[in-house]
């Protein structure tokens, strides 16, 4: 097998087929596509197997055509229903995250039915063939829900479909097949598959129209060989892009040894799919660590987010990633960004810094080190390398993330050094002018320093402890405390 084909296989697929597909659509007289939603008609024989999760590794097979199996398996029509659907399979084996997610759901909410969609017989094919089967599996799920609706009066709004990769689009197709005015309550897409879905019509993939509320978590949209494993475009009411959505911490080849230690011979495979599957583990994390819910913030793109200009929660500009998301359906898709750690619990605390530099005469390219002390903890030294020179009057914002909550901020330490180029220049000038005092150490003149905590929306302004504290020489550490007029009211205007 050639290197290209090998890489294609490892990274899920190469786009081997093209052509536009529709969900049971038809073409009108003017050549425009009309979306047709058809109810599944009897007799219907499912190509998928549905298993009711009982606990541990135990499941019970449900047969929509044999209604007694729902009763004997313990399906409770009074409780909500969650259907988990896996994605494409390279080895034809049910992946370990599936029972783990099911167990986390049951432990979080005891009064729910958790059903697993087993479509391995169709998923364990060449990727393009598996893509063609997604509509079939979506129809299987729609038939199951229709049976529950007709025989048990189970409202489909009490159903929550959770689909991973191809399973995300399958869940969308299930929603589109159901007829009537009532929609599925919620669909969660866990890194919806990108190849053969990127850039196509909303009727041919997961979209906000498929349920009352749709959310998606994008974790592996970095391009490989001209395509990305996960879909880049927004497909939901709320689309989350952890760490920019293109790659995830702890998932590069440097972590291969850790994966081999944990997963044995499957370690290499785990490294390849690590970022793609991170979406699943972020969702599981939201169930297992209720006290450490990850918050995400609406922003135009990730480059703006890492500059620290998007930590605003007004008018639903922030939301919780995972199971306990605030379900706010709006006409416009919202893209939300956050940073996470490399291991569970993944939550990081976001802090927006805003520093004003006043009347800076000489250009300086500094490396700044800041440390924060709060009522709960200390941050330690945080180094912020500036990629541009500071001169004149200028204001800079940047984002810092920590794995701990500092509490109410009380003290800030500020230290800086010049880049190597500026240090060498100053050293040469000092040598030339050893006979005079004309050469002084470079200085930064600081104006206001403000910090905003994303999770609490509290803002803190810092003032120098000394009268001359606005000027900070290179290599000098300065202490700043909360300004007397400082306010830390929640939900005030952000720095945006």
Task: Check: CB of residue 86 under 8 Å from CB of residue 117.
Answer: yes
Find tokens 């984002």 and name the residue: 399
Does the annotation place 20 within a ligand binding site? no
Residue of 171, 155, 179 whose CA lies nearest to 208: 171
Task: Parse the chain into domains and list their residue ranges.
Answer: 3-338, 349-482
Does the annotation place 285 within a ligand binding site? no
Tokens of 400: 């810092």
* 160 is annotated as an active-site residue: no
Provide the 3-class DSSP secondary structure of residue 124. coil
CA dist., res. 240 & res. 256, Å (int):
26
* 169 is annotated as an active-site residue: no
Tokens of 495: 């720095």
Q: Which CATH class is domain 349-482?
A: mainly beta
CATH topology of domain 3-338: Rossmann fold (3.40.50)
The single residue of 46, 48, 89, 165 carrying the catalytic annotation is 165
In the structure, how many helices (H) and strands (E) does the chain have?
10, 24
* 176 is annotated as an active-site residue: no
DSSP category for residue 243: G
Helices (H), 214-350: 256-263, 267-288, 302-305
Find tokens 């180094």 and name the residue: 383
HEC-encoded secondary structure of 344-395: CCCCCEEEEEEEEEEEEEEEECEEEEEEEEECCCECCCEEEECCCCEEEEEE
The single residue of 259, 276, 281, 350 carrying the catalytic annotation is 276
Q: What is the pLDDT along the chain (496 residues), one digit of tens a residue?
A: 443 343 344 444 343 333 333 334 333 323 333 333 445 555 678 899 999 999 888 999 999 888 899 999 999 999 999 999 999 998 899 999 999 999 999 999 889 999 999 999 999 999 999 999 999 999 999 999 999 999 999 999 999 999 999 999 999 999 999 977 889 999 999 999 999 999 999 999 999 999 999 999 999 998 755 568 999 999 999 999 999 999 899 887 655 556 556 655 454 566 668 999 999 999 999 999 999 999 999 999 999 999 889 999 999 999 999 999 999 877 789 999 999 999 999 999 999 999 988 876 566 778 899 999 999 999 999 988 776 677 678 888 999 999 999 999 999 999 988 765 455 555 555 555 555 455 567 788 888 899 999 999 999 999 887 766 678 888 889 999 999 865 444 444 444 4
């Amino acid at each position: 097998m050639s290197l290209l084909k090998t890489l294609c296989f490892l990274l899920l697929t190469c786009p081997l087929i093209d052509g536009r597909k529709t969900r049971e659509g038809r073409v009108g007289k003017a050549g425009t596509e009309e979306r047709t939603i058809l109810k599944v008609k009897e007799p219907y024989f499912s190509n998928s197997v549905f298993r009711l999760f009982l606990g541990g590794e135990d499941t019970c097979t449900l047969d929509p055509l044999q209604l007694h199996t729902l009763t004997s398996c313990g399906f409770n029509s009074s409780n909500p229903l969650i259907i988990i659907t896996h994605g494409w399979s390279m080895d034809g084996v049910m992946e370990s995250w599936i029972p783990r997610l099911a167990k986390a759901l049951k432990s979080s909410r005891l009064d729910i039915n958790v059903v697993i969609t087993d479509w391995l017989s169709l998923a364990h094919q060449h990727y393009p063939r598996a893509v063609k089967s997604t509509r079939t599996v979506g129809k299987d799920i729609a038939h199951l829900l229709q049976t529950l609706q007709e025989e048990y009066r189970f409202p489909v709004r009490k159903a929550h479909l959770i689909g991973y990769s191809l399973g995300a689009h399958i869940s969308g197709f299930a929603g589109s097949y159901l007829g009537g005015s009532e929609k599925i309550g919620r669909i969660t897409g866990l890194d919806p598959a990108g190849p053969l879905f990127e850039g196509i019509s909303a009727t041919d993939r997961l979209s906000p129209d498929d349920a009352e509320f749709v959310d998606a978590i994008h974790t592996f949209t970095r391009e490989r060989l001209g395509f990305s494993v996960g879909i880049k475009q927004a497909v939901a009411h709320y689309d989350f892009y952890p760490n920019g959505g293109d790659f995830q911490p702890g998932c590069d080849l440097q972590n291969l040894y850790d994966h081999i230690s944990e997963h044995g011979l499957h370690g290499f495979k785990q490294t390849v799919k690590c970022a793609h599957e991170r979406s699943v583990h972020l969702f599981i994390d939201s169930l297992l660590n209720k006290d450490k819910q990850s918050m995400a913030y609406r922003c135009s793109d990730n480059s703006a987010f890492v500059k620290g200009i998007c930590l605003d929660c007004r008018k639903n500009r922030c939301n919780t990633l995972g199971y306990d998301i605030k379900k706010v359906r709006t006409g416009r898709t919202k893209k939300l960004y956050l940073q996470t750690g490399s291991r569970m619990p993944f939550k990081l605390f976001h802090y927006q810094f805003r520093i004003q530099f006043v009347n800076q005469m000489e250009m300086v390219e500094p490396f700044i080190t800041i440390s924060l002390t709060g009522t709960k903890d200390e941050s330690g030294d945080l180094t912020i390398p500036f990629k541009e020179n500071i001169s004149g009057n200028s204001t800079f914002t940047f984002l810092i993330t920590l794995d701990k909550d500092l509490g109410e901020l009380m003290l800030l330490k500020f230290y800086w050094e010049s880049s190597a180029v500026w240090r060498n220049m100053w050293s040469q000038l000092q040598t030339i002018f050893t006979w005079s005092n004309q050469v002084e150490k470079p200085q930064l003149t600081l104006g206001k320093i403000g910090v905003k905590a994303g999770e609490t929306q509290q803002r803190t302004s810092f003032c120098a402890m000394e009268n001359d504290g606005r000027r900070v020489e290179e290599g000098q550490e300065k202490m700043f405390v909360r300004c007397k007029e400082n306010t830390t009211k929640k939900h005030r205007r952000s720095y945006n």
